[in-house]
């Protein structure tokens, strides 16, 4: 599904702003049939949970209703009219006046409704959206709804972040010509100093044999550097400028749908420009390569989570978060634990930040209910749990993710799930079809999953299916709390076990310790800022001793909100920044470690080795301990 863009043939009207708002308990039986009488208004995009002081709204389980009036531009006569939602968490019903025009399940991918012939240019219509926040064993992510003794529904779930709900991403009314470019796929490669670009264009609407497709690649100065005809093909860009981590360069693929007769291409019917970067991604042995060069991930697991807005997209936080990542020296992040807003990936494309793009499959592990023993009270992949319909829903989420994000050069890997029960019977049967589907949809990007603490090198059942082993570990926090010496021994043996068994690149996709800002101690005191820094330093010593290790993503970039619990004080505090983005001591420690690495494994300086094999030519030892910090 193409991201909305203006062009010589396309216009966009933003529907963001304040909408009328009401819970289903207060909205009446058929709220789409008339104007909502509620006095409440909710901003779009935003989650609704933290906006109001009414606890019933924050804790609501069920449907909430949004409504506004929309006027179609009068100049859109004869045009196709499309209503597009960036996301609605977790399911949506969309009504235009009294008519149901769209339904969608899945809280983190876009959907649209074709309103052509339903609405009239120059006229106004009533737009009503029902937002359902309920999670079940047939949703991704999963959850359980129960009814309490007071008759009120309660939501429980297996993931450790708050179940924010609402219209969290932009809503737009878009126009296209009746014959239009429906989809564009771009795959890039290299031939010496030239870029090789394979493209495929799908058209829709009133297209006929009398239309032709022309594509032009333009550079950042607007110069045409290559041209081709036909709905699919290949062209070369000589002396190509590569998209590289920290040095983004984007071309534009101008796709034009033209009338065609015996004289050749004629008038412009539709135009759409798809940004793209020329780069390659490959796993070779135990190395992760971007443009043929070993790449070492430094960065974070993140969340779309900010005060008041919840998961609502906010451009100010987008810019500031990327500034803070650049300040630390981070070159990458994982979209934990769901696809982020398209605007985030567009920004990463433009600024050279590498992304591991993850589905919303978090919580496929009933073993967490038994604690870190991993003893599931009931098998995770039993048909009545996640072994039945859930797999089909997961596959649809994967299709929508790859369809949306396939053209982003910043996206270098697909993550199919976070902390699934990969050690339980049924895991392989569950994941094999998903891996096959992902490789069919996109054979160009490596695949990974984030392994839970009690999935070990000895009992994991799916690691061989994937290209990169992403490991979540909390030795020194949930295990051996306050005993970093013992934690270091267990961590190293654990990671070496993964490398020995699978012979693939290994990276740490989560490691961290909850930290209360302002708490200080001269001892190894959990929750202190010093302990968080020492904890991270211990992990880094281990990483630097493993030649197969290709990256480190700290959990988490910033503190974030969770459901209530006695082990959480106003949310998860593992961030190296507070929820309002103030740095803890660990942020400065990471800055000292990461700044100036340029994608190299820590310990390397000016191409010289410090005992770490990253696939580069062997040089002279520089005399420092692997991973030693400097004050540069």
Which are the catalytic amino acids?
Answer: 419, 510
Around Cβ 371, how many Cβ atoms within 10 Å? Answer: 10
Could you give the angle at which helices 342-351 and 315-328 cross, rounded to 10 degrees?
A: 40
- Residue 532: phi, psi to the nearest 5? -60, -45
Please give the angle made by the CA atoms of 131, 134 and 138, to the nearest 5 degrees: 120
- Residue 142: phi, psi to the nearest 5? -85, 165
How is residue 288 written in tokens?
């992760």
Helix (H) or strand (E) holding 17: strand 17-23
Around Cβ 164, how many Cβ atoms within 10 Å? Answer: 22
SS3 assignment, position 414: strand
Residue 560, C-beta contacts closer than 8 angstroms, at least 6 positions apart:
161, 162, 303, 305, 571, 572, 575, 579
Cβ burial of 402 (10 Å; 0-12, 13-18, 19+) is: buried
| String of DSSP letters for 59-108 | T--SEEEEEEEEE--GGGTTSEEEEEES--BSEEEEEETTEEEEEEE-TT
Of 215, 208, 210, 258, the closest CA to residue 233 belongs to 215
Compute the distance between CA of residue 627 and CA of residue 602 in angstroms, rounded to an integer.
Answer: 5
Helix (H) or strand (E) holding 55: helix 55-58
* Cβ pair 363, 158 in contact under 8 A: yes
């Amino acid at each position: 599904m193409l991201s909305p863009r203006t062009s010589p043939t396309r216009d966009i009207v933003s529907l963001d702003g304040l909408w009328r708002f009401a819970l289903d308990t207060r909205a009446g039986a058929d709220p789409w049939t008339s104007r909502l009488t509620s006095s409440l208004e909710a901003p779009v995009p935003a989650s609704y949970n933290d906006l109001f002081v009414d606890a019933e709204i924050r804790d609501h389980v069920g449907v909430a209703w949004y409504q506004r009036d929309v006027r179609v531009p009068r100049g859109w006569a004869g045009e196709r009219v499309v209503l597009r939602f960036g996301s609605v968490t977790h399911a949506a019903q969309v009504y235009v006046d009294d008519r149901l025009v769209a339904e969608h399940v899945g809280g983190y991918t876009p959907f649209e409704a074709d309103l052509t012939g339903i609405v009239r240019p120059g006229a106004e219509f009533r737009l009503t959206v029902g937002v359902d926040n309920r999670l079940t064993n047939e949703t991704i992510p999963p959850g359980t709804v129960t009814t309490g003794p007071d008759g009120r529904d309660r939501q429980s779930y297996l993931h450790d972040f708050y179940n924010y709900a609402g219209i969290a991403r932009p809503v737009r009314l878009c126009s296209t010509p009746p014959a239009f470019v429906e989809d564009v796929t771009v795959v890039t490669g290299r031939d010496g100093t030239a870029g090789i670009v394979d493209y495929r264009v799908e058209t829709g609407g009133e297209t006929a044999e009398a239309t032709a497709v022309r594509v032009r690649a333009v550079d950042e100065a607007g110069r045409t550097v290559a041209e081709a005809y036909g709905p699919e093909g290949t062209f070369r860009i000589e002396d190509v400028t590569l998209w590289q981590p920290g040095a983004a360069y984007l071309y534009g693929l101008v796709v034009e749908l033209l009338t065609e007769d015996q004289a050749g291409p004629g008038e412009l019917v539709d135009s759409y420009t798809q940004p793209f970067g020329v780069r390659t991604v490959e796993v070779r042995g135990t190395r992760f390569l971007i443009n043929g060069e070993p790449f070492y991930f430094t960065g974070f697991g993140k969340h779309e989570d900010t005060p008041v807005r919840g998961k609502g997209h906010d451009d100010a936080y987008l810019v500031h978060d990327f500034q803070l990542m650049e300040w630390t020296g981070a070159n990458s992040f994982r979209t934990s634990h769901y696809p982020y807003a398209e605007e985030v990936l567009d920004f990463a494309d433009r600024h050279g930040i590498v992304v591991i793009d993850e589905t919303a499959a978090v919580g496929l592990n009933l073993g967490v209910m038994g604690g870190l023993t991993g003893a599931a009270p009931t098998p995770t992949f039993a048909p009545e749990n996640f072994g039945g319909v859930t797999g089909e829903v997961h596959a649809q989420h994967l299709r929508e993710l790859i369809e949306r994000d396939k053209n982003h050069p910043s996206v270098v890997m697909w993550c199919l799930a976070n902390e699934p029960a990969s050690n339980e019977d049924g895991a392989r049967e569950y994941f094999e079809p998903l891996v096959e589907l992902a490789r069919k949809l996109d054979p160009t990007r490596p695949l990974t999953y984030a392994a839970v603490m009690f999935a070990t090198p000895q009992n994991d059942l799916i690691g061989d299916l994937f290209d990169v082993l992403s490991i979540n570990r909390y030795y020194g926090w949930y295990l051996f709390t306050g005993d970093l010496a013992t934690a270091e021994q267990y961590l190293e043996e654990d990671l070496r076990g993964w490398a020995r068994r699978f012979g693939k690149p290994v990276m740490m996709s989560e490691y961290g310790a909850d930290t209360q800002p302002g708490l200080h101690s001269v001892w190894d005191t959990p929750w202190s800022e010093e302990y968080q820094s020492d904890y991270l330093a211990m992990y880094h010593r281990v990483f630097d001793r493993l030649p197969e290790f290709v990256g480190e993503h700290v959990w988490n970039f910033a503190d974030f909100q969770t459901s209530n619990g006695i082990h959480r004080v106003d949310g998860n505090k593992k961030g190296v920044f507070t929820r309002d983005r103030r740095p803890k001591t660990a942020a400065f420690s990471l800055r000292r470690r990461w700044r100036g690495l340029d994608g190299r494994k820590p310990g390397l300086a000016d191409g010289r080795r410090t005992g770490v094999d990253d696939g580069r030519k062997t040089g002279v030892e520089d005399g420092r301990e692997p991973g030693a910090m400097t004050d540069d």
